[in-house]
Amino acid sequence: MTDRIRRDEAHDGEDDGRAPVADRDVRDLVYLMSCGLNGVAASAARVGRMASSGALDGRVRALATTHQVLTLCAAALRTAGPLDAAWASEENARTYRLVMFAVERDAVLADLGRRGIRHMPLKGSVLAGWYPSATMREMCDVDVLIEPGSERAVRDVMLARGFSPLHVGGGHDDSYARDFLNFEMHHHLFGTLEQADLAAYYEDVWDRLEPDPAAAEPCAWRMRDEDFYAYVTLHAFKHYVLAGFGLRTLADEAVLTRRFADAIDWDDVQATVAAFGAGSFERTLRSLATRLFDPALLADDGTGLDALLTAGAGAGLPAEERTVGADAGLPAEERVMLAHVVASGTYGTIEQATRQRVLNEFGENPLAGERNQISDAHRSKLSYLLRRVFPAPRWMRDQFPVLKGAGIVLLPGAYVFRIARAAATKRGAISTELAQVREVDAHR
């Protein structure tokens, strides 16, 4: 999908503001997303052009699926006329799944409450409630933070509800599945391997939470609005610098920004995210989402949006129909972000994730911004490889619970087991990562 965007070479300092950011299919997709988010009827003429060219039922629907925004776009398409069979079928299947997720989430949370287990829904299941319709926000799992020490009781709850454990006892969450429903029950908000600083900051997160006054039972807790926004931003930043994220995250940002517009202390938010190198990322993300989903750009079949994304096309619009800044297109930093977002899909690619992880470790990730300055940017290749082969004991304890407590004496054996398992199951990934390490600038 990388050929869908002309990447902005911002690092060379040359940007005439004229090169188009996104091709027609991407612009049509963003147009439909914006109509859905803003409750604006989609232009029948524009939808008709998409359909007659074959893009609507082909490339645009494929992009909507890749970025997990199909239900959002389908809601917009319905305002322009009946959905065709393929769109209607996909929308119905995804809507059914989202409704079942919501039903099961409420049931699980109620069971946790009855057992006296403090809990807090995270990310998508919270954001969905702030969209114009909850089924406009797609998700593939439900994330819940559970209080420390409750893992065994939570396992009992999930097993009683017919879920099977997928990954339990290692890492920062336990995963459960039943049919198409997936739940991630987090005992920590971040892992310790690539986000050790974030993991440490959120280690005592329960000290900063408060009972949720809107919940029906006392075991439901919540973050302050500033903390919730900062957490969602830092989680997005983690994905951005390591593997990427898709257009759904930009829609989430637009929803968050509108909900919290004048209700939170943005200086407080910036202080938190900047401490982890995400200050410029947050500002760019918020600005880009605000521009892309500005309802003023939807008039006249979305001409203003096309102008913004083609950098200069707005010059032909009557003065009263222009949006400020449309003639010049997106600022360079937003062009770079949008290019990365469109190329990434919802969760990025394995190859991209490997490359970004290596560059991030050496402080050479161009997407990491100021995080490069607060990281160990002078790590040698040898020390990096040693760290990958022999991660910190804390991370090993997270992955192998048997090591907790006196079991730490088993650490050497756990390292041997991990190496043997990787050699047997991840040879391709190891080869890819070694190739990326070799490509790190030789002058370092």
- Whether 289 is covered by a domain: the verdict is yes
Rounded CA-CA distance 340/343 in Å is 5
Q: pTM value?
A: 0.77
- Whether 214 is covered by a domain: the verdict is yes
Rounded CA-CA distance 440/358 in Å is 8
Q: What is the pLDDT of residue 415?
A: 79
Q: Are 327 and 17 in contact (CB under 8 A)?
A: no
- Whether 234 is covered by a domain: the verdict is yes
Range picked from 77-91, 185-199, 371-385 for highest mean pLDDT: 77-91
Number of domain units in the chain: 1
- Whether 186 is covered by a domain: the verdict is yes
- Whether 413 is covered by a domain: the verdict is no
Q: Are 414 and 392 in contact (CB under 8 A)?
A: no
Tokens at residue 444, please? 């370092």
Q: What is the pLDDT of residue 197?
A: 86
Rounded CA-CA distance 354/359 in Å is 9
Residue 284 binned pLDDT confidence (cut-offs 50, 70, 90): very high
If you average pLDDT over every residue of the chain, what do you get? 82
- Whether 67 is covered by a domain: the verdict is yes
The residue among 206 and 432 whose pLDDT is bigger is 206
Residue 25 binned pLDDT confidence (cut-offs 50, 70, 90): very high
* Cβ-based neighbours of 53, under 8 Å, separated by 6 or more: none
- Give the other-Cβ count within 10 Å of 223's Cβ: 20
Would you state the torsion angle of the CA atoms of residues 343, 344, 346, 347, taken in this order, to the nearest 10 degrees?
170
Per-residue DSSP letter, 324:
T
Tokens at residue 140, please? 């593939």
Q: Are 65 and 90 in contact (CB under 8 A)?
A: yes
- Taking only the tens place, the pLDDT of each residue in 36-73 is 999 999 999 999 999 999 999 999 999 999 999 999 99
Rounded CA-CA distance 328/16 in Å is 9
For 50, the domain range is 17-347
CA distances from 362 to 371, 378, 385 (A): 11, 6, 12
Mean pLDDT of 163-170: 85
CA 438 to chain centre: 29
The rounded percent of the chain whose pLDDT value lies above 70 is: 76
Q: Are 26 and 342 in contact (CB under 8 A)?
A: yes
- Give the other-Cβ count within 10 Å of 361's Cβ: 22
Residue 403 binned pLDDT confidence (cut-offs 50, 70, 90): confident
Residue 92 binned pLDDT confidence (cut-offs 50, 70, 90): very high
Q: Are 236 and 339 in contact (CB under 8 A)?
A: no
Rounded CA-CA distance 299/48 in Å is 16
- Whether 419 is covered by a domain: the verdict is no
Rounded CA-CA distance 383/155 in Å is 38
* Cβ-based neighbours of 41, under 8 Å, separated by 6 or more: 35, 79, 80
Rounded CA-CA distance 331/284 in Å is 9
- Whether 134 is covered by a domain: the verdict is yes
Tokens 């192998």 belong to which residue? 400
Q: What is the CATH number of the domain that holds 124?
A: 3.30.460.40
